[in-house]
């Protein structure tokens, strides 16, 4: 179940984007992630992910197997703030067998850990810092990082566009798209919390986007209290 790469759509960039539902809140995997999986099962989501923090290794392993048993693509996003922890997260990704690893900045070292695993890697371009993560860096830096990461063998990038502190978010998306050209996939993560932002990402050339906290907090349909109602609103956007 690949992301919708731009070269598959000869009419223009991204008429369809992939929605990746993250079982996360406040940049951590929710503690009741397995129960949430039961709640959202009727929606038949095709892309589901979680963070490398908030739940133990055993739970993450069970969660990953459950996601894949439903025919969905599994994602794990690295939010570790130290080099050692980030590389350990890559090892966890290999151990539990996720399909795609998002985040991190130690690209060469991470690719070496992932070698032979079949896991597609999408690192952070720019200068992510802290937890919850903010994104420093200019559009030129993001474009250069994206180009370099693809040359190194990455499947794409995981851009924290709406967490930017030094540049306008959509300019960063356009910059990453330029750096990527028609190769790889551009995923945008963090603070995608409105239909307007989803539309802006699509228009700027994004291939996929993640939503976690905003769905759990009711941002997309404030008058509805259920998580499934929120997710249905997001699906209607794509």
Confidence band of 23 (pLDDT split at 50, 70, 90): very high
Residue 83 lies in a domain: yes
Copy the structure tokens of residue 180.
């990527």
- How many residues are there in the chain? 238
Residue 152's CATH number: 3.20.20.60
The reply to whether 1 falls in a domain is: no
CA gap 144, 208 in Å, rounded = 20
Rg for the chain (alpha carbons), in Å?
Answer: 16
**Cα 8 to Cα 13: distance, rounded to the nearest angstrom:** 9
105-164 pLDDT tens trace: 999 999 999 999 999 999 999 999 887 789 999 999 999 999 999 999 999 999 999 999
Q: Would you say residue 28 lies in a domain?
A: yes
Answer yes or no: is 21 within a domain.
Answer: yes
Domain-located, residue 173: yes
Domain that holds residue 15: 6-237
At 81 the three-state DSSP class reads coil
Write the DSSP assignment of 157-189 as a string of letters.
EEE-GGGBSSS-HHHHHHHHHHHHTTSSEEEE-
Looking at the 3D structure of the chain, how many domains does it have?
Answer: 1
Decide: 172 and 161 in contact? Cβ < 8 Å. Answer: yes
Has residue 180 been placed in a domain? yes
Q: What is the pTM of this model?
A: 0.92
């Amino acid at each position: 179940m690949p992301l919708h790469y731009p070269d598959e759509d000869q009419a223009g960039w991204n008429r369809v984007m992939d929605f990746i539902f993250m079982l996360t809140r406040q940049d951590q995997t929710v503690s009741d992630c397995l129960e949430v999986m039961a709640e959202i099962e009727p929606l038949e989501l095709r892309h589901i992910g979680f963070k490398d923090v908030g739940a133990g290794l055993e739970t993450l392993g069970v969660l990953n197997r459950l996601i894949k048993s439903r025919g969905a693509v599994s994602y794990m996003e690295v939010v570790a703030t130290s080099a050692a922890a980030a590389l350990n997260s890559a090892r966890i990704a290999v151990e539990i067998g996720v399909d795609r690893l998002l985040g991190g900045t130690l690209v060469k070292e991470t690719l070496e850990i992932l070698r032979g695993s079949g896991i597609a890697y999408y690192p952070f371009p720019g200068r992510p810092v802290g937890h919850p993560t903010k994104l420093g860096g200019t559009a030129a830096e993001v474009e250069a990082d994206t180009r370099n990461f693809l040359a190194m063998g990455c499947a794409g990038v995981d851009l924290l566009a709406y967490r930017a502190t030094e540049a306008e978010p959509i300019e960063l998306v356009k910059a990453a798209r330029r750096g990527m050209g028609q190769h790889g996939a551009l995923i945008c993560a963090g603070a995608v919390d409105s239909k307007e932002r989803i539309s802006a990402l699509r228009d700027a050339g994004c291939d996929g986007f993640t939503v976690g906290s905003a769905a759990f907090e009711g941002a997309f349909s404030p008058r509805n209290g259920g998580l499934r109602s929120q997710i249905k609103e997001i699906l209607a956007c794509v």
